[in-house]
Structure formats: C-alpha cells, structure tokens
Chains A and B, each alone.
Chain A
Amino acid sequence: MNTAALPRPRRAHLARTLLLTVAIKCLALYGLWFACFSHPQTRHMLLPAGQVERHLFAVPAAPVSSTKK
C-alpha cells in the first residue's frame, strides 16, 4: 500500500487539537447557557410550593401552604 499520502502529524499535534477543542467547547457551552439557560425557573431544583399548587390545581388553594427550605 502506498503510504506517502498519509499525513504525519507532529507528536503534540493531537494534544493541542484536543485542548483547543475542549476550550472552544467550554466557551460554546457557556454561551449556550448564558443565552438560554441562565435564568432557570427552579433554583437548586426547588420551586415555591405555591407556584406548584397554581400549576397543578385548577382553583388555587387557600394560602396556607408552607415551603420547606
């Protein structure tokens, strides 16, 4: 088989490519998070119980609920 056409990367070429890709990926992820996900409705996977009640009940219940923090 003729191998003359095969590229010959330098030893550290792959490491540099991967580091650059990971850095660009982190930046892209940060951009995506900043643009679309930086204001989540739930903080720390917790909503006020009243908001959940309004979502689940047709007629909001009387305001006697408590929220565990």
Chain B
Amino acid sequence: MPPLDDVVALSRLQFAATALYHFLFVPLTLGLAWLLVIMESVYVMTGRQIYKDMTQFWGKLFGINFAMGVTTGITMEFQFGTNWAYYSHYVGDIFGAPLAIEGLMAFFLESTMVGLFFLGWDRLSKGKHLVVTFCVALGSSLSALWILIANGWMNHPVGAEFNFDTMRMELVSIADVIFNPVAQVKFVHTAAAGYVTASMFVLGISALYLLKARDVQFALRSFAIAAAFGLASTLSVIVLGDESGYTAGEVNKVKLAAIEAAWETEAAPAGLTLFGFPDDEQQTTHYAVRIPYVLGLIATRSTDGQVAGIRELRAENEARIRKGKEAYAALLRLKGGDKSPAARTAFAAVKNDLGYGLMLKKYTPNVVDATDAQIRQAAADTIPKVAPLFWSFRGMVFLGFLFLFIFGAAVYFMVRRNLAPQRWLLKLCVLAIPLPWVAAELGWVVAEYGRQPWTIAGVLPTHLSASSLSAGSLWFSLAGFLGFYTLLLVVEMGLMVKYARLGPASLHTGRYHGETPLSRADDHAAAA
C-alpha cells in the first residue's frame, strides 16, 4: 500500500491497476482469434458443419471478450500525458510511431475485420470469410507487437539518443527500435501466453460439457483442437521464456539477479535457487533449495559465463552514479550557455550515465554536490525488491509447467481415445481455466516491477517521471478506473458464464443440447 499522499507511488499504482485489468481481456483475444482460424480452416477444408458451428460459438465468446476489452488500453495513454508528463516528454519522439501504428492496426484492421467476421457469414464465401478471420487474428497480434515494441524499448532503450537541447530521447534508428531483441522476445513470449490462455479457456469449457455429457461431439472436437494448440503454445511459452531470461541476462542484469535472488557473483556456472525466502534486509535467502550449475547454464548458455550478483551490480551502479554526477555537471554547463566543442565532448563522454546521476535527485536537489552517503543510498535504490520478483517469477514458472502437464495429458488421452474415463483430468481442465490469467499477470509483475527504479531503463528514474499532481486527484481517478474496469469485468463474466452454459445451443441451429429431443438422444448415445 503506497503512502496516501505519495504522488509517484499513486501514479504507479494507477498505471499498474489499469494495465493489469487491461491484460485480463487481451490474452483471450490474442489466442482465441487463432483458434477460430484453425476451426474455420478445418470447416473450409472438410465442409463439415460442426466446425462452422464451433467457429461461430467460440467466436461468440470471442466477441464478448473483444467488446469488453476494446478501448480499455486507451486509458493508459490518458495517463501518459496527465500522470507521467516527464516520462511522456522523454519518450514522445520514440513512442509516436509505434503507438500510432498500433492505433491504426487496432481500429482499421482488427475492429473492421471483427465486424466482418460476425456480419459476413451469409455475405462472404467460405474462403473469403476465412481470410477475414485470419485478418482478425493477424490484426490483434500486430497490435500487441507495436505495444510490446514500445514496452521493450523502456527495458532496453536502443536506437535513440539524448538531445540536450530538447531534453528528451530522440529517435536515431527505427530499425533498432523495431528489432530490439528485448521487444521481439517479449512479443513472442506474450503472444504465446495469450494462445495458452485461449487454449485453456476452450479446453476447460469443453471439458465441462464432457463432464455433463452434453454436446459431446462438439466438445470433443473443441477439446482436441485446444489441447493440441495449447500444448504447442505452452512449449513455445517455456522455450521463449527461457530466451527472455537469456536476453535479460544480457541487457537487464539487475532484473535477472533480483528474480533469482543472486546476492553474490558465484563461480561459473552459477547455481539456481529453486525455493527459499529472500530477505532484502539481510541480503540473503533463508532455507534456500539450490540446484548447482543450472542458473549459469540457462542465463549464459555456457559453462564459463558468470551471472553477476546483486552486490557486484550495486557496486557497478555506484560507479555509474559517480559518472552520472559528472554527466549532470556537464549538462548544466551546456544548459548554462557554454556550447563549446570542449563542453559538448565532455558531456558526450559521460552522457550514457546521466540517468544514473538523476537517481541522486531523490536525495539532494543539487546533484553535483551529492555526498558519498547519498551516492550509496542511490546505488541501493537501483536494485528492486527481491522477494516480490522471486515469488512472482516462480509462480509464473510453476503454472507454466502445470499447463504443460494438463495439455500433455489431454493430448495423450485424446490420441489414446481414452479421454472419457479421465474425469480427474476433465475436472482439472475446468479448474485451470483462470490460471493462465494468473500466470500472465505474474509475468507482467516480473517484467515491470523488475525494471524499477526506472521508467526507461538506465535513462529516466521513475521518481522523476511523474507529473506534479495532487494526491487527491490521483485517488479520484484511481477510484474511477477501478470502478469502471470492475464493472466491465463483472459484465464480461456474466455474459461468458451465460453463453458458456448455453453452449452451441445459443446458435439456434436445432442440433445441440436441449434444443430438440433428438439432440438429447445423441448426447446420451455419444456419452455412452
């Protein structure tokens, strides 16, 4: 709980709350769109009506989620200008293009195609409608790509340089921003997590129908597609998560060290702390259960690469803060009117550490006079709290392997044609429906909390990014957001439960559970 009048903490809380709420809607849209493509492709290839019914029924649930989720992300852009004025100024030259392209993708490709998806069944040929469904999936993935390019840049600000005239970061290479390795790995990891979410959603609801012995043929086919797609997606999430960890080891060493509670730099290859209780005060992990060599092998993909520990990284950051102090003094000289080549050269030599110098602003108004004690305090601030990252990461990874087990077992019993007796698995699938959302939210906590104390890693500290607002106005808008999003979530849950209970009978084709006596007889025959 932040202090009641801490404007920076309240701005962070507001952004985190809206981002976490927004991401309750996003992953299902991302993944369900591709599941619709698969179902409709089978319909186009085989001409079997049941696959069209599957596309239309799961498309209906997709439509509910899309309608509830669309525009929930725009509130974060509201906050940029109002709550995060200095951050917004710093990133404006970089974020303009990705956010504009994302808007175009979301509104002109995704939303238009979603409309065509629902209205085009009787107006378009089978092939053309499939192209529309494919464009819905492509549009949602491309929207995510541009947002994650912007987010990736905040973690690894490449392709831009600080301009002391405009006092902001300015774009040097759009290619470097787009092909930023952090952004690319973040995109594929996030998209694959969305596919897992949608697969578990379809798998769980289909399992519910199978447990109730209703719409069995429909549920079995849905279950099979979700199980296969989910297994492939979970394997992708795990492999890409490993890639994400490797990239973090390259460019976000502090984040990696905090996630792994690596207090000291160990001899290579470092061991992995599987479990334990990290203690930020004493900088140790109590009751640690460790596996030798594993962290070093995962994080460096070598037997001789070292994983830097928190104490070493803090010492490195202290040195950078001292250079940042020089950068700050050189910038003051430039802004004071001395734009001689010597002054420019002096600033250019240390400008990459300016952000570290700005960390001192929390402790002294006059950075150039910062004391050693203040520098040490600022260096300690460059390490995020370890325990929340340690636990969030392990929660996410545990859930990832649980999904692998569920999808693996689902595929195994489907292939063996022995699913019906496995009621434990069907029940587990139903219970697991909300878990991919939990994993995704934990993933965002790891990604964003792990970037602290920066809004732009190594460039702009969080405490200097927020606007000068009153705490009262932030509490008011926070309450507005929470009320608004909670209402949306309640409406979504209500509609989802209602239409999931109805099942494919909501299509009114006369072929499904409860619609005709014949369909009930089919259910019982299939269940038997």
A associates with B: yes
Taking a contact as CB atoms closer than 8 A, the residue among B75, B80, B92 that contacts A29 in the complex is B75
Selected contact of A25 from candidates B64, B71, B96, B163, CB within 8 Å: B71
Using known A-B contacts A57-B335, A64-B336, determine if residue A3 contacts B514 with beta carbons closer than 8 Å: yes
Q: A29 to B515, alpha carbons, bound, how many Å?
A: 40
In whole angstroms, how far apart are the Cα atoms of A32 and B477 in the complex?
A: 7
Q: In the complex the two chains form, is B79's CB within 8 Å of A37's CB?
A: yes
Majority SS of interface residues in chain B? helix
With a cutoff of 8 Å between Cβ atoms, the chain A residues found around residue B476 in the complex are 35-36
Q: Which of B14-62 contact A (CB under 8 A)?
A: 60
CB of A39 within 8 A of CB of B514, answer no
A residues 1-42 near B (Cβ < 8 Å) are: 1, 3, 6-7, 9, 11, 14-15, 17-18, 21-22, 25-26, 28-29, 32-33, 35-37, 39-42
B85 on the A face (CB < 8 A): yes
Q: Which residues of B contact A61 (CB under 8 A)?
A: 332, 335-336
Q: Which residues of B contact A25 (CB under 8 A)?
A: 68, 71, 488
Return chain A residues, CB-CB under 8 Å to B60: 14
**Number of contact residues on B: which range applies?**
35 or more
Complex: how many Å from CA A52 to CA B167? 7
B502 within 8 A of A: yes
Q: Which of B63, B75, B81 has the most C-beta atoms of chain A within 10 angstroms of its own C-beta?
A: B81
Contact B63 A18 (CB under 8 A): yes
The verdict on A53 contacting B167 (CB below 8 Å), with A36-B480, A42-B81, A62-B335 known, is yes
Residue pair A1, B484 in contact (C-beta under 8 Å): no
Question: Which of these binds chain A: B129-137, B279-287, B360-368, B446-454?
Answer: B360-368
A15 to B201, CA, bound (A): 22
**Given A42-B92, A45-B88, residue A7 in contact with residue B498 (CB < 8 A):** yes
Question: In the assembled complex, how far is the CB of residue A48 from the closest CB belonging to chain B, in whole angstroms?
Answer: 9
Asked if B89 contacts A47 (CB within 8 A), the reply is: yes
A47: contacting residue among B85, B95, B480, CB under 8 A: B85
Cβ contacts under 8 Å, B67 to chain A = 18, 21-22
Knowing A37-B477, A41-B81, A55-B464, say if A32 contacts B484 (CB, 8 Å). yes
Contact call A11/B508, Cβ cutoff below 8 A? yes
Cβ of B374 within 8 Å of any chain A Cβ, yes or no, is no
Most chain B CB inside 10 Å of its own CB: which residue of A46, A57, A67: A57
Question: Which residues of B have CB within 8 Å of A42?
Answer: 80-81, 85, 88-89, 92
Count of A interface residues, CB-CB < 8 Å = 45
Distance A23 CA – B491 CA, assembled complex (angstroms): 14
* Residues of chain B with a CB closer than 8 A to A26's CB: 71
| In contact, A32 and B481 (Cβ under 8 angstroms) | yes
Q: Which residue of the partner chain A has the closest CB to B81?
A: A40
Measured CB to CB, the closest approach of chain B to A64, in angstroms, equals: 4
The docked-state distance in angstroms from the alpha carbon of A20 to that of B84 is: 33
Contact A49:B336 (CB < 8 A) given known A32-B477, A41-B81, A43-B81: no
Q: Which residues of B contact A67 (CB under 8 A)?
A: 166
Of A6, A18, A56, A62, the residue contacting B502 (CB under 8 A) is: A6
Instruction: Tell me if A37 and B78 are in contact (CB < 8 A).
Output: yes
A37 / chain B contacts, CB cutoff of 8 Å: 78-79, 81-82, 477
Residues of A within 8 A of B484 (CB): 28-29, 32
Tell me whether B423 is interfacial, beta carbon within 8 Å: no
> With an 8 A cutoff between CB atoms, is B337 at the interface?
yes
Assuming the contacts A21-B68, A36-B473, A39-B82, asked whether A6 and B332 have C-beta atoms less than 8 A apart, the reply is no
- Point out the residues of chain A lying under 8 angstroms from B385, CB to CB: none
The answer to whether the Cβ of B501 comes within 8 Å of any Cβ in the partner chain is yes
Complexed CA–CA distance, A26 and B91 (Å): 27
Q: Which of B85, B96, B365, B464 interacts with A58 by CB under 8 Å?
A: B365
Complex contacts, B514 vs chain A, CB 8 Å: 3, 6
B143 at the interface (CB under 8 A from A): no
- Complex contact B165–A36 (CB within 8 A): no
Query: CB within 8 A of B477: which of A21, A36, A53?
Result: A36
Report the minimum CB–CB distance from B519 to chain A (whole Å).
10
In the assembly, what is the distance between CA of A18 and CA of B214, in Å?
Answer: 27
Contacts of B75 in A (CB 8 A): 29, 32
Q: How far is the CA of A44 from the CA of B81 in the complex (A)?
A: 8
> Could you pull out 25 A-B pairs where Cβ atoms are within 8 angstroms?
A3-B513, A6-B502, A6-B505, A7-B502, A18-B63, A29-B484, A35-B480, A36-B473, A36-B476, A40-B85, A41-B468, A45-B81, A45-B93, A46-B168, A47-B85, A47-B88, A47-B89, A49-B167, A52-B86, A58-B361, A59-B366, A64-B335, A64-B336, A67-B166, A68-B165
User: Which 9 pairs from chain A and chain B are nearest by CB?
Assistant: A45-B92, A40-B81, A3-B514, A61-B335, A41-B85, A36-B477, A58-B365, A37-B78, A58-B366
A15-B118, A25-B488, A45-B81 known; 9 other A-B pairs, CB under 8 Å?
Answer: A25-B68, A29-B71, A40-B82, A40-B85, A52-B89, A53-B335, A56-B167, A56-B464, A68-B163
Residues of A participating in the B interface, judged by any CB pair closer than 8 Å: 1, 3, 6-7, 9, 11, 14-15, 17-18, 21-22, 25-26, 28-29, 32-33, 35-37, 39-47, 49, 52-53, 55-59, 61-62, 64-68
B residues with CB within 8 A of A? 60, 63-64, 67-68, 70-71, 74-75, 78-82, 85-86, 88-89, 91-93, 95-96, 118, 163, 165-168, 212-214, 332, 335-337, 358, 361, 364-367, 464, 467-468, 473, 476-477, 480-481, 484, 488, 491, 495, 498-499, 501-502, 505-506, 508, 513-514
